[in-house]
Structure 1
């Protein structure tokens, strides 16, 4: 078939503003048809066509692209355009733009230092199995709900939530799978010593919970790679007999029961908060006089224990004349009450000092690690570590002589 020639068979220059292309007619034995010629900077571009309409159509397309500054599109050949069309049709099936696909692939190629991207992705999919993506906040909420359902203590749950949801999640706004060691270190920047170690324990529990759900089951997580601070054992703080007496003398009527039980029984604050007066059972026979700490109200649900009502506490209970039932501290925020007590008594408040005082003075009095451990709901090793030889026998005598 003879090519469709331009009627004049002369070069045709087509212009659009400063952009111009020229169509030449080729009549040699080697080439017959139309040649499209234009300049791209200092480079002369030539394209060949067998018929005039195709050359003219391409001339208009090139002019439009040159005019709009789309030089790459203007200089593309038919093969380039075919590849572009096929690529766009393939990407349309998954709803991804060509620009994003090229950006993501190039980024992945650089990260993998030239390794085969599809092969690497396949290997990773086989490694992670069917685990799903989830943000740190989502995993934290799931873990907190799980721990709550399993009966963990309210104070522990509160501390866990404050750190994971209040501090960690806002700084780790990414899937838990993507969290790095550097991310966790940045989250822990403001913590040190025992506090840092406690926060690391929370993170380790979070990442352990995510295993098999959102992280590979059998791999060491980034949380397990965090270094803990070396912490020197600290001396426990206790009340002197004089401070203990002043605190009890300063206590209001509705809080005296709490402070007396905390001081002379060693029961934890969180345990006293769940105590009912029906569990406090004074008796004329000292061996029968006791407080029952039920398993449901004990720390970590360690089990029921019987705590003796010793003479100082018996004296204060006799003064209080408590009811037969009802919560010992109904509707009280004891942390606030303890802070206010420090102000009223003009004594710097020491955290857990009442429990530590009981342990220290009780050990000095009876020198029986196992009995004190049982009464306090603690391990013998912990009792010996903190309370053995903490006070003298004379100081203990003064403490146990306190009365209203």
Structure 2
């Protein structure tokens, strides 16, 4: 396909790489205490640096993140306060409710998630029950609780592994119904659900699912999925059904239609839509970085969106030392990327999708600003950027770097100064 909708900033092929360090926040947003007042103290970056210095007896070794300007965004004694690299650095507000990986990535790619509702299933039981009944299912409450049992086999419930009201699940034992049956229930729920995600989950459990139901935070009730054995018994099947989006107005599709090859790496391969994209799903950080480097080494234009998931997993596990080791591993991978992204049209953007402070005292995401560190080969000096209103501004900035028109996205504004090129 010819690149007729490129703005032709440069005739040379250019590569834009977005590395999302999942759960990497740089301080609480002003509304972070709305759900949990203690979250106003959230600071994933700062607290990991502090605790790892104590645990390791040395500062974390993050020379590349320092050179990319992390210390300018988050002043900390273990981070350099100046850099010789040509970078534009700032922070971004999330631009969507709550703190969620799916909503974060959809927003970053240009979707408008600002109107997605945070809601408990209990507040929408009537419409969900009606939709399932109209679809021919048998529906009942579980022992009078605000949790639905569908066809005697599938539980429709609040997701207890994310912030209250962010996601709902449809969970079942594949031995009882099969995953296709669980997925059919989830799709019916998705059609009426106001939340960002409805997640179909199937697997092999240690017993009947009602025995693993428990109360969650914020008045939620749901299945304790880790306790069921789904994660350890093999055969786990999961499908994320997101809120309705126009994926043609997101960055991967915009780039692909312009003839720019798109590669989605790590969790980005699981949750972003683009039929033309090469997908490299992976959880292991070394594998994510290897796939990213492989995509950058190809000839011609390229858009690569990579998600480092293990940082988020460390946050959920409240494992500060693991989080610190993952950051050091990411830093080494960024060094290799910088060695390949050397031409004036290239861009490396390092950011996050939310916070996940492993010291905060709970296993949920934290609502924090995220860093926006943009390497601009050939540009002059360092530019400090104003706070971006939304992660969508990151996607718009990447579009502009590729010579695409950011107004082709549903949401987002190019960050001022971030796409400046050498004269």
TM-score interval for Structure 1 and Structure 2 normalised by the shorter chain: under 0.3
Using the size of structure 1 for normalisation, the TM-score is 0.22
TM-score, normalised to structure 2's length?
0.22
From the two aligned structures, give the one with the greater helix fraction.
1
Choose 1 or 2 for highest CA Rg. Answer: 1
By relative contact order (CA 8 Å, sep 6+), the higher-ranking structure is 2
